[in-house]
Every structure is written in C-alpha cells, then in structure tokens.
Amino acid sequence: MLENYFPVLVFALVGLAFGLAPILLGWLVAPNRPDSEKLSAFECGFEPFEDARMKFDVRYYLIAILFILFDLEIAFLFPWATIFKEIVGTPEVKMFGFLEMLVFIAILVVGYVYAWAKGALDWE
C-alpha cells in the first residue's frame, strides 16, 4: 500500500531540491561583502525621509483595487472569445451568446462610469 505513495514522495523531494538548491548555491557561491551603503534603507533611489508607518492616500488603494477588479472582469472575455465561432455557428445560441456578452460589457461600463463619476479615478 505504501508503494502507491512513493511517486508522491519522489515528487515532493524533487520539488524541494529544485526550490532549495538555488538558495543554497547562492548562499555558498555568492560574495558576501556587506557595507553601510548596502545595508541602508532604500526607497526609490532616495533616502527615506518619512516614517515607515506613514499613511498612504486612500485613492492609491482605490485605484489599485479598481485596476484589479476591471482586469479580472476583462479576463472573463477570453473564454467567450475562444468559443465565439461555436456561439455564432449555433443558431439557437447565436443571439443569446451575443446578448449575454453585451449585458456583461454593459455592467462593466456602468461600473466604470460610476467610479469615474464618483471621482475614484481622479489623481491630484
């Protein structure tokens, strides 16, 4: 019974080896010459001039969330586009598939216009 799990064990060990080998190899081979410049805090090429716990503007997070939201929703168009020929080729589904995608895109546009009207996309 345990021989059935042997391939899983081998797979896990090979995966661990592939993950740990570059780390160990870099640690053993790479030069280690730390100095004060390398160990200093780095922030976009400038010395950090504020506290690390400073608050970011909420609009930054809002735009990031809106980007992720619309990006993921646009990703739902790809499955529809891959079977578009099948949708168009089937008379029973032709109009339904087209209208369904129009409804989906209309919901996206309404969400985009709403975010725009509320000023979520304004950056000052």
CA distance 22 to 4: 30
Look up residue 27 and give its DSSP letter. H
Given this model, what pLDDT does residue 10 score?
95
pLDDT in tens, 73-104: 888 888 888 888 888 888 888 888 888 888 98
pLDDT digits (tens, 9 = 90+) for 97-115: 888 888 989 998 998 899 8
What pLDDT does 43 receive?
61
User: What's this model's pTM, rounded to 2 decimal places?
Assistant: 0.50
Name the amino acid, one letter, at 48.
P
Q: Cα 93 vs. chain centroid, distance in angstroms?
A: 33
| Residues with Cβ within 8 Å of residue 59, at least 6 apart in sequence | 120, 122, 123
Between 76 and 23, whose confidence is greater? 23
pLDDT band at 120 (very low <50, low <70, confident <90, very high): confident
Whether pLDDT at 42 is above 70:
no
pLDDT (mean) for 11-25: 96
pLDDT at 103: 92
